[in-house]
Amino acid sequence: MTGTLFVVATPLGHLGDLSSRAADTLRAVPVVAAEDTRHSRKLLAHLDAHPVLVSIHQHAPASRLAQLVARLVGGADMALVTDAGTPAVSDPGASLVVAARAAGVPVVPIPGPSAVAAALSASGFPADRYLFLGFLDRKGPERRDQLAEAAASPWTVVIFEAANRLVVLLRDLAGAGNGERGAVVAREITKIHEEFKSGTLTDLAAYYEEHAPKGEVTVVVAGGPKREEGQGGQRMRAVEVARRLLDAGLSKRDVVKALQETMDLSRNDAYQIVTEPDA
């Protein structure tokens, strides 16, 4: 019998978000593979859990991966954790999952906090379909292609970024033809200094040039007009959204702003839809 690899989601910041199942798993397994053992040691101490901690970061040697898989094949259960949120999403944990599966080891997710889901849920943008790009490449043709993909996406786009590179990202997204597209910067999700700042990409870039951000950052960008529906179809959707918001008691000014930010409309177009929906 092999062991089981548990992929355990851990809090983004608020310890109260750790599920009881995740806590029980971390107390029970003899080994925890962690992105940063120093960070994970604090969580385990909080839980009074005492597994063997092994690092599995992006610079870990291939021999480390082989050792972890050997433990699993030998019958030891193991938990995979990242610094925050769900493992194997824009972090090196996926390599262990792939290797474990290849060796016939059962992989069991222990779901929980996710920066992607949290940012989407509080952004107000459609999340029935979305494009997740993780961390963009820092330069070169790969970054240009990713920026173009974000600009062309008819769906909401989610991007991770380090705080010290946020302004560059917002400028680059705006420069790729998205300047007036609505966006939300979700910073320090679930932590004391949690912040959700909304506006156009141009406005957000200007804001964070004046207010240097800190902490973990997730950027959510409104999708562009869907190619298949054209401008006419987009207007019909915008009229319907405007009517629902007005019926809910929002002011015309607030509805205009909401249409700008969530449907990639200019202020003039949004104002006309709110004031002359049948025009």
CB 199 within 8 A of CB 183: yes
Mean pLDDT of 237-263: 83
pLDDT at site 234: 72
pLDDT band of 279, cuts 50, 70, 90: low
pLDDT band of 228, cuts 50, 70, 90: very low
CB 62 within 8 A of CB 5: no
pLDDT at site 231: 55
pLDDT at site 277: 77
Q: Mean pLDDT for the chain?
A: 91
CATH number of the domain residue 139 falls in:
3.30.950.10
pLDDT at site 206: 96
* Domain termination residue (choose one: 83, 113, 143): 113
pLDDT at site 269: 87
* Domain termination residue (choose one: 113, 146, 179): 113
The set of residues, in sequence order, having a beta carbon less than 8 Å from that of 206 and lying 6+ positions away, is none
* Domain termination residue (choose one: 84, 113, 142): 113
Same domain, 120 and 102: no
Same domain, 129 and 52: no
Q: Which tokens go with 177?
A: 């033809």
The set of residues, in sequence order, having a beta carbon less than 8 Å from that of 141 and lying 6+ positions away, is none
Same domain, 121 and 155: yes
Same domain, 12 and 100: yes
pLDDT 10s digits, 116-160: 999 999 999 999 999 999 999 998 989 999 999 998 898 999 999
pLDDT at site 170: 97
CA–CA distance, 131 with 187 (Å, rounded to integer): 19
CA–CA distance, 278 with 109 (Å, rounded to integer): 50
Same domain, 164 and 196: yes
Domain that holds residue 15: 5-113
Same domain, 257 and 197: no
Number of domains in the chain: 3
| 230 pLDDT above the threshold of 80 | no
pLDDT 10s digits, 24-65: 999 999 999 999 999 999 999 999 999 999 999 877 788 889
| 180 pLDDT above the threshold of 90 | no
Closest CA to 197 of 179, 180, 182, 178: 182
